[in-house]
Amino acid sequence: MVKRERDIVVLNLDLDRINEDIISNIILEAEEIIRNCIVKSIGGKLVSDLNITIVVDKNDKLTFTIDVTFSAPRFLEIEYDNIIDTAIEEAAKTIESRLLKYVKK
């Protein structure tokens, strides 16, 4: 599996306003988006061993690390990396849009 760094987006967030419930909801939404993108690309019955891990570090900044793996039958000639990249990009867009509510004013 190839590991890639994603773009870093600086949003100037007010971290005091972002609690565990907000982070948890953002993670759940991002996981659902990733799952739906992969199932839509391949078909629900053909995806197996789908593993989505989202780790959030909240210190003086908020960092999301997303890792996705899945399996599909060998007869499918698919670009795993492209499918995963697209799913992560869609999730990242949603994460960013949700966090924009907490930009410092």
Task: Report pLDDT for 58.
Answer: 92
Task: Report pLDDT for 50.
Answer: 94
What are the 10-residue block averages of pLDDT along the chain, 105 residues in total? 58 89 97 97 91 93 92 86 94 94 85
Task: Report pLDDT for 2.
Answer: 46
Tell whether 5 is covered by a domain: no
Tell whether 9 is covered by a domain: no
The pTM of the full predicted model, rounded to 2 decimals, is: 0.87
Tell whether 3 is covered by a domain: no
Tell whether 52 is covered by a domain: yes
Task: Report pLDDT for 105.
Answer: 75
Question: DSSP string of the chain?
Answer: ----PPPP----B-GGG--HHHHHHHHHHHHHHHHHHHHHHH-TTT-EEEEEEEEEEESSSEEEEEEEEEE--TTS---HHHHHHHHHHHHHHHHHHHHGGGB--
Tell whether 29 is covered by a domain: yes
CATH number of the domain residue 82 falls in: 3.30.300.100
- Note down the domain range covering 56: 15-102
